[in-house]
Structure 1
């Protein structure tokens, strides 16, 4: 394969982007510049190079829009549930298992792995994000740690083995000239070793950020702010202070109101030069004591607030009680609906009772159910006003998805330029013209530099797999890694099926959604409301360590 100037410009762009990521800087500008320079070097036409900037982002947006849409829809559903007061009720049952950030980390990882193993991570992420993630955050698990657990268990462990659906082992095996079962069995072992090492390292590295269980963590996460403790308490008890009735809820609200006023007065005096720190701490401690009386008291206060009325409900006791019942209904309905979807997909997988639903079809099923739940929740919560509020929830969801994930589009556009499947469209080549595959051409060029040593060949295939995954598609590099395994394995005395599994590990752990930000990691970051680039930085060392350990163990035992 002839390597031209455009290939070297593209390679320089990759090196620059990786260096900027290591330096903890935003890589949008380097990605845009690299796209323009690569297109200019290949076509020699500055007009076409300018057009490629738009075409690259447009291509990336069209390929990633399904991820944007599912994030927007689930965010809209959570907004409708929040208006009903059902979001916090929905997570209460999981507190029995997710009692702390430590247990929550492993519960989320285990559930994500099981769901993703059968249906791939695409439908698993919204299921976990809608139900388990809020419970885990309330239990004290930081959003970043939760997102890492989801990404490693789903996009990493489950997808890299693909043991149930076996699309990935089939591609690798066909290119390597070996049996699919052989590749699948070895990939399963390698994926479990890699995942165990990565999860253990992430847990050790993140455990210092774990916090005590507190519903205030969920409030801060939902609002996107980390407020001073006293102000968070004020917002939490705003419901009860509006009740205006008698009884324990109103009494508690009045007590907290007075304590918070005293605390904020002390805070103001301290800010103006006074020395009221002790008074502020005492008042804040008193408010905390009221807050920490237990979930039963908090639920009673929430019920009192809902009974007092709200958007779309009357002010009478019957209307308020009906609103409480609707809140409880949706807290039960949403998890049951999502669990029913899992049951339906299991039924299609293991029986002929219903059609099998996997991959993008499964994601579409989850998205459609989310839309239906959103419509019903808006109708039940706002009545005749649901026409406006439902649209507002969807717009809010789309705005959130674009704000959180839109920056990744030009980055993905550059790496799509390295894939021959997209390069022709980005470079506006004539129909039927052969499109360049910058990334795969460079990887093929490296093949001859790998010596005939088992360990070096294994690590070389791992590196090639990671490089082929940089385009954001963990499966597109499998034919290349498989064919290299079939040719290099016999000469190095290594099982070709093992080498194909190793290459599969590198390609999917990178492009499947763990080691690069322009992949399905966007969905994980979107639901957890954290930076995708931050997830990449925090997962890099644990995942690379896991991949190296699994490769060495695989060469030793197979």
Structure 2
């Protein structure tokens, strides 16, 4: 596989952008510069490079539209539930269990983990966040702590294991040439180590930040935590029926095998139906005008959150072969798997193999391919490399697959890449970069410890 100038420009700009992130600077301009420079190489003209910038925005918008929509309609529904006080009533049973910030952190995390196993993190984030955020605020858990708990347990542990839906292990197992059950079973020690280390480190850092006052304040205050019930009868029925409807959604996901985008669509459609029914019940003749107001509020919030994300995501999506081809045409060499996958293969083929090297490279390749903010796009490569490494040095291929899966998902699935944490950022109103920065150290420590453990058990 030949490496082009576009590959090197992309990788250099990734390092530049990560430097800006670590310096707590906005990364929109570096991302735009990166697209422009690749455009100069791929298109061969300034006008072509300029067009590529806008095209990258379009690609990012297409990739993110489902997340923008689900967040917007859930927020629209939540605004109405908040106005009538139904959100307070829905949170009341859980509030009886959660009495302290510590209990809030772990209870919210565990609930998010279970929900993510059953219907994946994005729809789980929208549902759980809308109900439990007021509870967390009320007992003193900082909003950033709430966001970290949702990310680490849901997008980290839940999505990287994926025991119920089995989307992630199926991809890596198929590429690695091993049974899916082997990736899940043999990977349990690695999943457990990664979970324990990241959760413990996140919790310790959060406690330290609370003690020292070093807490990032939320940029948007979304939900009231006061007991204000304006329409008691309707609020009571809404507090009962809304959870029941979403539980029925979960049952439907199982019954009809709905996952990913289909599951998100079901949740979003249910939210719109709830919004319509409540508007008609509350406002009668004024319902037609009122529902427009709530939809406008929801989508205004969605665009406020996602607007700055599109230029950033537009650059990083170019690491995948599909978006790159959409923006730049057939510039990549024949047989290319995308810039990130190509660079991962180059790295893997440049080093002599041993158990430690195989484990380190598997983690590195998984993390590199996760930089596009997907997590899933690089798992085929992670599984393929695990098969090559495992066969070459006679180690456990399934465990190598699990290690690559962990690195890809924890990086790109929604914990340390700003454009991947946007569902949680949207619900909490915190800047995505702030959440990613708070997750960064725990996840890196988790990678190091998990890779060390993998070296001894391969």
| CA deviation after TM superposition for structure 1 residue 12, in Å | 1.1
Aligned: 1:37 with 2:37:
yes
Cα distance in structure 2, aligned partners of 1:371 and 1:154: 24
Q: CA RMSD in A?
A: 2.3
| CA deviation after TM superposition for structure 1 residue 332, in Å | 2.4
Deviations 1:336-387 (A, max 9, x none): 3223323443xx3xxxxx3222221111111111111111222222222121
Equivalent residues in 2 for 1:361-510, closer than 5 Å: 361-429=262-330, 437-510=338-411
Equivalent residues in 2 for 1:287-302, closer than 5 Å: 302=228
* Partner residue in 2 for 1:190: 190
Structure 1 counterpart SS, 2:222: helix
* Partner residue in 1 for 2:415: 514
Cα distance in structure 1, aligned partners of 2:247 and 2:176: 39
* Partner residue in 2 for 1:11: 11
Cα distance in structure 1, aligned partners of 2:134 and 2:195: 24
Structure 2 counterpart SS, 1:222: coil
Cα distance in structure 2, aligned partners of 1:536 and 1:31: 17
| CA deviation after TM superposition for structure 1 residue 223, in Å | 6.4
Change over 3 Å in CA distance of 1:87–1:31 after alignment to 2: same
Structure of larger gyration radius: 1
Deviations 1:427-474 (A, max 9, x none): 1459x9987822222221111233322122201110110000111221
Structure 2 counterpart SS, 1:3: coil
Cα distance in structure 2, aligned partners of 1:436 and 1:507: 16
Aligned: 1:332 with 2:232:
no
Deviations 1:393-429 (A, max 9, x none): 1111111111112211111111111211111111145
Change over 3 Å in CA distance of 1:449–1:110 after alignment to 2: same
For normalisation by structure 1, the TM-score amounts to 0.77
Q: Is contact 1:202–1:539 with CA below 8 Å preserved after alignment?
A: yes
Change over 3 Å in CA distance of 1:107–1:86 after alignment to 2: same
* Partner residue in 1 for 2:98: 98
* Partner residue in 2 for 1:359: 260
| CA deviation after TM superposition for structure 1 residue 106, in Å | 0.5
| CA deviation after TM superposition for structure 1 residue 554, in Å | 2.9
Deviating more after overlay: 112-121 vs 22-31:
112-121
Change over 3 Å in CA distance of 1:435–1:398 after alignment to 2: farther
Structure 2 counterpart SS, 1:452: coil
Change over 3 Å in CA distance of 1:461–1:434 after alignment to 2: closer
* Partner residue in 1 for 2:157: 157
Cα distance in structure 2, aligned partners of 1:184 and 1:85: 43
Structure 2 counterpart SS, 1:504: helix
Deviating more after overlay: 15-24 vs 441-450:
441-450
Aligned residues: 451
Cα distance in structure 2, aligned partners of 1:555 and 1:434: 32
Cα distance in structure 1, aligned partners of 2:23 and 2:392: 40
Aligned: 1:536 with 2:444:
no
| CA deviation after TM superposition for structure 1 residue 209, in Å | 5.1
Aligned: 1:527 with 2:435:
no
Cα distance in structure 2, aligned partners of 1:203 and 1:504: 24
Equivalent residues in 2 for 1:15-164, closer than 5 Å: 15-164=15-164
* Partner residue in 2 for 1:557: 457
Change over 3 Å in CA distance of 1:449–1:4 after alignment to 2: same
Cα distance in structure 1, aligned partners of 2:330 and 2:451: 40
Cα distance in structure 2, aligned partners of 1:465 and 1:458: 11
* Partner residue in 1 for 2:214: none
